[in-house]
Structure 1
């Protein structure tokens, strides 16, 4: 399939596909007229990349997942290298949550100090 069809089927721009190719995440062949040609399996690779990016992974994070799919595994997350990326990402998220909770506590303390009668609530609470 040509780049436009892959873009349409995977829900990305042709520019994104060219970038993924430049980064070595997907590969195309060139037809006689110079057009990029992709395999059906590239739809799955691009879908995996997009799903990972949607939850905060980088393109470099996606590389082991793509390699896992290329090696024939049914899931990009079923290889040890992918599991390691999942674990690292969870640790990063946990660190950010701890940081945000500490910041929230500091801001709440500043509010309480500045406005002793003000009620500190979480969004959505009354």
Structure 2
């Protein structure tokens, strides 16, 4: 453990993540903590970077399980460039997001047509 370990509250304050989220990340093996004499979790200062990276990856649609499978170069370095080991996972995530966007655009077009025509259009 580094010189000045962080309590879960301080880590939450430094990252904007909720205490509940940090516990969740820790329980899923995305963070490393030890228990202090009082039984509370203590995190190394590097956990600030890790939590921020986890938040960024979640915001791009990755699950905690997927994030856990990423190499340290993605999880441990704030603002890290994509590692070659994760490129395929990122491409798959992008394809999934693009498919969702197309589906939503189709639904939007059907709804707009329904509103304009006053009747539900037949399925394509």
Q: TM-score range by the shorter chain?
A: 0.7 to 0.9
Structure 1 residue 9 and structure 2 residue 11: aligned? no
Runs of 4+ in 1 over 4 A off after TM superposition: 72-77
Question: SS of 2:104's equivalent?
Answer: helix
Q: RCO higher in 1 or 2 (8 Å CA, sep ≥ 6)?
A: 2
Larger radius of gyration: 1
Deviating more after overlay: 26-35 vs 57-66 = 57-66
Gaps of 5+ in 2: 1-5, 120-124
Aligned length: 114
- 1:29 and 1:37 in contact (8 A); partners too: yes
Gaps of 5+ in 1: 116-126
TM-score by length of 1: 0.72
Residues in 2 aligned to 1:50 and 1:39: alpha-carbon distance in whole angstroms? 18
TM-score by length of 2: 0.73
